[in-house]
Amino acid sequence: MIKRLFNALPGPLAARILQSLVIVAVLLTALFFFYEWLGSTFLDTGGGFE
């Protein structure tokens, strides 16, 4: 599936690699903030009060 998605990207190989890196970076950043929100909301809010 990953191979198919990669091949579906437009442009030559170099452009597709660059696009892949950008997409991965964006996804990892989104995942980081999702983890932050998840942890701060449900796991350990820091002891403050609602």
Distances in Å between the alpha carbon of 14 and those of 6, 19, 21, 50?
Answer: 12, 9, 11, 50
Q: How far is the CB of 38 from other proteins (least distance, A)?
A: 7
32 binds other proteins (CB under 8 A): yes
33 binds other proteins (CB under 8 A): no
Q: How far is the CB of 12 from other proteins (least distance, A)?
A: 29
Distances in Å between the alpha carbon of 25 and those of 13, 32, 38?
Answer: 18, 10, 20
Q: Pick the piece of the chain touching other proteins (CB under 8 A) from 3-11, 13-21, 33-41.
A: 33-41
